[in-house]
């Protein structure tokens, strides 16, 4: 396996690792579908982050780092780093990143950041995590955070995708985490996973906004509709989902929180429109 030395090849093509980045070694790659993959890699011992945050990751291209924002899937207590990625055919980074293999080098920025962190929310009883597509990534690190289960009685993770095979991490959420040695009991008692699929038949079909508006989400969970006193939310996904769900939350009386002013919900885009 290669480590930082793997960059020697790139360095010989003129790449010099900037001080803002570390070079990590890919450990595994999993292709969920022709549009989605995950990769794990080594973690620099000085790389510290809050669950829910993102970092810049990328590859050396033409002697320069080509970087994009990526949420950490792995929790901050894990030894390795995991990311969940789209494959954009013409995408400058992902057209390349999708071909990495164990032993290859990936660049990781030293400074994680982001708004999907627990300190941006006021205390509450129930936490909704609304994700579409790769917007699931930051919530995977959060659902492995023991603090989450100290702070909330119930955590409802919704993941909406177009096709059933895009329900990445369903196995981890429904089988591995409930059996987890330390977190299993909290997960079994408090975490509710609510997948939905828009583009083909599934037990829960439709966009999350429609499932909220129709009341189906609350009926399925046997909970009252969203209430600003007890409910908190984090949103990560496509721009239309963020706009619509935040509109519904605002209508229900929830307000967006920031680090200097915690409130009832927070938002992060899963990607920037270009
Ligand atoms: C805060 C933040 C966190 C992010 N976290 C992730 C993450 O965890 N996983 C991830 O795959 N991407 C994530 N992204 C998007 C990521 O930064 C890149 O846009 C993506 O990797 C594609 O890079 P690219 O260079 O191949 O194409 P780009 O030129 O960056 O993107 C081309 C186009 O592809 C579409 N696109 C890009 N990313 C996505 C996506 N994730 N889902 C659907 N369509 C997309 C958009 O229409 C975009 O305009 C995040 C973006 C932001 C701003």
Atom of ligand 1 lying closest to residue 91 CA = 26
So what's the pLDDT on residue 5?
A: 47
Same domain for 242 and 132: yes
Domains in the chain, number: 2
Same domain for 148 and 85: no
pLDDT at 274 over 70: no
pLDDT at 2 over 50: no
Same domain for 251 and 155: yes
Mean pLDDT, the chain, as a whole number?
94
Same domain for 8 and 41: yes
Give residue 172's domain range.
118-269
The answer to whether residue 146 is domain-embedded is yes
Atom of ligand 1 lying closest to residue 68 CA = 17
Q: Which of 91, 109, 127 is the last residue of a domain?
A: 109
Atom of ligand 1 lying closest to residue 92 CA = 25
User: Which amino acid residue places its CA nearest to atom 31 of ligand 1?
Assistant: 91
- 16 vs 72: CA distance, rounded Å: 25
pLDDT digit string (tens) for 192-218?
Answer: 999 999 999 999 999 999 999 999 999
The answer to whether residue 274 is domain-embedded is no
**Residue 15 Cβ contacting ligand 1 at under 6 Å:** no
Same domain for 254 and 132: yes
pLDDT digit string (tens) for 16-67?
Answer: 999 999 999 999 999 999 999 999 999 999 999 999 999 999 999 989 999 9
Which residues, 6+ apart, have CB-to-CB distance to 212 below 8 Å?
Answer: 218, 226, 245, 248
State how beta strands 54-61 and 105-109 pair. Answer: antiparallel
- 69 vs 57: CA distance, rounded Å: 6
CATH number at residue 255: 3.40.50.80
pLDDT at 147 over 80: yes
So what's the pLDDT on residue 10?
A: 53
Residue 230: how many CB atoms within 10 A of its CB? 16
Which residues, 6+ apart, have CB-to-CB distance to 64 below 8 Å?
Answer: 15
So what's the pLDDT on residue 271?
A: 77
Q: Which strand (E) or helix (H) includes residue 129?
A: strand 126-132
**pTM of the entire structure?**
0.95
What mean pLDDT do residues 126-141 have?
Answer: 98
Same domain for 127 and 99: no
CATH number at residue 63: 2.40.30.10
Reference 52, options 162, 127, 164; nearest CA is 127
pLDDT at 125 over 70: yes
The answer to whether residue 41 is domain-embedded is yes
Same domain for 242 and 146: yes
Q: Which of 74, 109, 144 is the last residue of a domain?
A: 109
- 224 vs 128: CA distance, rounded Å: 13
Q: Which of 81, 109, 137 is the last residue of a domain?
A: 109
Task: Retrieve residue 157's tokens.
Answer: 């993770």
| φ, ψ of residue 187 in degrees (nearest 5) | -65, -45
**Residue 269 Cβ contacting ligand 1 at under 6 Å:** yes
CB 118 within 8 A of CB 53: no
Atom of ligand 1 lying closest to residue 274 CA = 49
Best of 82, 97, 271, 272 for a ligand 1 pocket test (most atoms within 8 Å of beta carbon):
271
Reference 2, options 27, 22, 30; nearest CA is 27
What single DSSP character describes residue 24?
E
Burial of 150 (0-12, 13-18, 19+ CB in 10 A): exposed
The answer to whether residue 101 is domain-embedded is yes
Task: Retrieve residue 263's tokens.
Answer: 């409130």
What mean pLDDT do residues 137-165 have?
Answer: 98
Residue 99: how many CB atoms within 10 A of its CB? 12
Residue count of the chain, please give it. Answer: 274
The answer to whether residue 182 is domain-embedded is yes
């Amino acid at each position: 396996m290669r480590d930082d030395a793997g960059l020697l090849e790139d360095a010989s093509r003129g790449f010099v690792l900037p001080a803002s980045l570390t070079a990590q070694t890919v450990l595994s790659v999993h292709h969920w579908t022709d549009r989605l993959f995950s990769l794990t890699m080594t973690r620099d011992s000085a790389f510290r982050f809050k669950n829910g945050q993102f970092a810049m990751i990328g590859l050396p291209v033409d002697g320069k780092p080509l970087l994009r924002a990526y949420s950490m899937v792995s929790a901050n207590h894990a030894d390795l780093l995991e990311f969940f990625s789209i494959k954009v055919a013409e995408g400058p980074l992902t057209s390349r990143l999708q071909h990495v293999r164990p032993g290859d080098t990936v660049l990781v920025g030293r400074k994680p950041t982001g708004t999907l962190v627990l300190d941006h929310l006021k205390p509450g009883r129930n936490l909704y995590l609304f994700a579409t597509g790769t917007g699931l990534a930051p919530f995977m690190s959060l659902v492995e955070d023991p603090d989450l289960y100290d702070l909330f009685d119930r955590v409802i993770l919704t993941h909406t995708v177009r096709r059933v095979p895009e329900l990445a991490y369903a196995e981890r959420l429904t089988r591995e985490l409930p059996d987890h040695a330390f977190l299993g009991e909290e997960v079994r008692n408090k975490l509710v996973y609510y997948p939905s699929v828009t583009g083909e038949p599934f037990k829960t079909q439709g966009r999350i906004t429609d499932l909220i508006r129709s009341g189906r989400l609350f009926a399925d969970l046997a909970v009252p509709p969203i209430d600003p006193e007890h409910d908190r939310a984090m949103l990560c996904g496509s721009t239309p989902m963020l706009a619509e769900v935040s509109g519904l939350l605002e209508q229900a009386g929830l307000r967006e929180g920031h680090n200097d002013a915690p409130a009832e919900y927070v938002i992060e885009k899963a990607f920037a429109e270009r």
